[in-house]
Amino acid sequence: MLKLSERDTVLEMNKLGQLSCPFLFIIGFDKTENIVLPLDEISPEEIKYAFKDDFSTYQNFFDEELESELEISSELIPFELYKTSFDFVKSNLELGNSFLTNLTVSNKIKVNIPFEKIINFTKAKYKLWLKDEFVCFSPESFVSVDSVGKISSFPMKGTIDASLENAEEEILNDPKEKYEHTTIVDLIRNDLSKICERVWVERFRYIDKIRRNSGEELLQVSSEVCGQLPHDWRNNIGDWFFELLPAGSISGAPKEKTLEIIKEAERDLHQDDQRKYYTGVFGLFDGEILTSAVMIRFIEKSMDGLVYKSGGGLTSRSDARKEYEELNQKIYVPIF
């Protein structure tokens, strides 16, 4: 499958947008290996995708119900290894080099269903499977654009076990969680202001429920930030879309310096020292509107088996042990 450079990806997205040609795009975290394909050229044998949000519903495969119980086991990286990276990030936060940094890791997992079938059994707003590479079942929207050019972003920051007493009140009143979420909302507003005529916050810190494969529920905190694109936004989709990358929710603020910190901190936390497609974005333009998602909740196929990539935002108030334990909480496969 042809992988495109950042420049070629921008040009191809612009061209297909000008032609009002429906297409799928997949953009890695570092934007160096990307895929852009007209929908009529995509085979479910190579790529499976599903978008089920308030903007659109598109899917090129059938969902299935898992008849047996899903079994998933994980092998976390050693705490000492995580803490070394955590301490590096924390020192930069305390020096003021970053206000918020998203630190991610790869953990080995085993599941009792074939890798290529995981996407058929999972329940999520956004799903993507790339043959022999990865499967993603993300709850997180990136940006969506309606027919009149209103762009909406839905940053997600903050997760808590729904079974805890007063869980919603606790996470909404937690100073660290509020600071982290507000920082990301401000970052998204700044990003949108680069490409929009005006920007506003539609909803601030609302709650969604997410069900884990164990049956447990998580509460996820999100906001909705909106803007108005110029009337000719379809003619240069690639240009303005890449202005927003990488997503603020999975990088941090200020973005440029924080990306330098992430590159150094994650050197020993991922295979090949890279996130690759994890925390990149994928999306669909149907000729009229556009919808996209952040690639979190992510399983990658490697030479050594499967790895589950997960992470969380760190601030100067973060605790290493708490953040490490939260990584395990995020290892789940939401099934029907």
| pLDDT for res 336 | 64
Residue 160: CB atoms within 10 A of its CB come to: 20
Q: Which of the 8 DSSP states describes residue 265?
A: H
Residues 106, 270 contacting (CB under 8 angstroms): yes
| pLDDT for res 188 | 93
- CATH number of the domain where residue 283 is located: 3.60.120.10
| pLDDT for res 62 | 96
Phi-psi region of 289 (alpha: psi -120 to 50; beta: other; left: phi over 0): beta
Q: Given the DSSP bridges, would you call strands 100-111 and 199-211 parallel, antiparallel or unpaired? A: unpaired
Tokens read off for 145: 């654009």
Q: How far apart are CA 108 and CA 269, in angstroms?
A: 12
| pLDDT for res 272 | 79
| pLDDT for res 15 | 99
| Total length of the chain | 336
Question: Is 335 within the bounds of a domain?
Answer: no
- Let me know the angle formed at the C-alpha of 59 by 279 and 295, rounded to the nearest 5 degrees: 5
Question: Is 189 within the bounds of a domain?
Answer: yes
Question: Is 297 within the bounds of a domain?
Answer: yes
Q: How far apart are CA 220 and CA 243, in angstroms?
A: 27
Sequence-distant (6+) residues with CB within 8 A of 53 are 125, 126, 141, 144, 291
| pLDDT for res 91 | 98
Question: Is 90 within the bounds of a domain?
Answer: yes
Please tell me whether residue 167 adopts helix, strand or coil conformation.
helix
| pLDDT for res 214 | 64
Question: Is 225 within the bounds of a domain?
Answer: yes
**Residue pLDDT tens, the chain, 336 long:** 899 999 999 999 999 999 999 999 999 999 999 999 999 999 999 999 999 988 889 999 999 998 888 899 999 999 999 999 999 999 999 999 999 999 999 999 999 999 999 999 999 999 999 999 999 999 999 999 999 999 999 888 888 889 998 999 999 999 988 988 998 899 999 999 999 999 999 999 999 887 765 667 889 899 999 999 999 999 999 999 999 999 988 999 899 999 999 999 999 999 877 999 999 999 999 999 999 999 999 999 998 899 999 999 999 989 999 999 999 888 989 886
Question: Is 239 within the bounds of a domain?
Answer: yes
DSSP string across 83-100: HHHHHHHHHHHHTTS-SE
Q: How far apart are CA 134 and CA 108, in angstroms?
A: 14
Question: Is 336 within the bounds of a domain?
Answer: no
Its domain, for residue 242, covers: 6-329
Question: Is 62 within the bounds of a domain?
Answer: yes
| pLDDT for res 255 | 93
Q: How far apart are CA 201 and CA 189, in angstroms?
A: 8
| pLDDT for res 213 | 59
Q: Which of the 8 DSSP states describes residue 143?
A: E
Domain tally, the chain: 1
Beta strands (DSSP E) in 163-216 are: 199-211
Label residue 82 exposed, middle or buried (CB < 10 Å: 0-12, 13-18, 19+).
buried
Q: How far apart are CA 232 and CA 215, in angstroms?
A: 46
Produce one character per residue of 139-150: b if its CB has 16 or more CB atoms within 10 Å, e if not.
bbbbbbbbeebe
Helix (H) or strand (E) holding 30: none
